Structure 1
Amino acid sequence: MSWRERIVTDPAVCHGKACIRGTRIMVSVVLDNLAAGLSPEEVVSSYPSLTLDDVRAAVSYAAELARERIIDLSAAS
């Protein structure tokens, strides 16, 4: 499964932010929930229109974005 099958952007939906296809649930919301410690199953339970594959796609999308840009983390310490 490619994240490209599940993640979309549309200027008319959520101001063009990346969302799960067929929903108005932004990828950032899924990632924020995971970062807060929720399991993928808990995220799906909180957002019944999502599937576990949608959550995996959000993580894959974020991983691809992280590969695209280098951020100097040494200044943050």
Structure 2
Amino acid sequence: MDKPLIVSHPNIMMGKPVVTGTRITVELILEKLAAGETIDQILAAHPRLSREAIFAALAFARDALRAGVIYPLAEDAA
């Protein structure tokens, strides 16, 4: 069985999901991508990351959003 690339532990980054072996959160990766950074720029800024880890973070976020939870959006956000 492969070691998971995204983990969560209450003593690391307050339990936020992180890339295994780092303190780099899924949230940080998403923020950087949303701000327009490329994967190559993120990898250059964080040498401990891999392309595979970034894609694992995206897959984690996708799966989290698939959960049966309703996320209220601000009406003026559109």
| TM-score, structure 2 normalization | 0.83
* Alignment-derived partner of residue 22 in structure 1: 21
* Alignment-derived partner of residue 70 in structure 1: 70
The C-alpha deviation readout for 1:16-72, integer Å capped at 9, x for no partner, is 110000001111001100000111111111111000001000111111111112335
Runs of at least 4 residues off by over 6 Å:
none
Q: Which runs of 5 or more residues in structure 1 are unaligned?
A: none
**By how many angstroms is 1:75 displaced?**
3.4
Structure 1 residue identity aligned to 2:12: V
* Alignment-derived partner of residue 59 in structure 1: 58
Structure 1 residue identity aligned to 2:11: A
Q: Which runs of 5 or more residues in structure 2 are unaligned?
A: none
Mapped partners of 1:66, 1:74: distance in 2: 17
Structure 2 residue identity aligned to 1:38: E
Mapped partners of 1:40, 1:32: distance in 2: 12
* RMSD across aligned positions (CA): 2.0
**By how many angstroms is 1:74 displaced?**
8.0
What is the total number of aligned residue pairs between the two structures? Answer: 75
Q: Which has the higher helix share?
A: 1
| TM-score, structure 1 normalization | 0.84
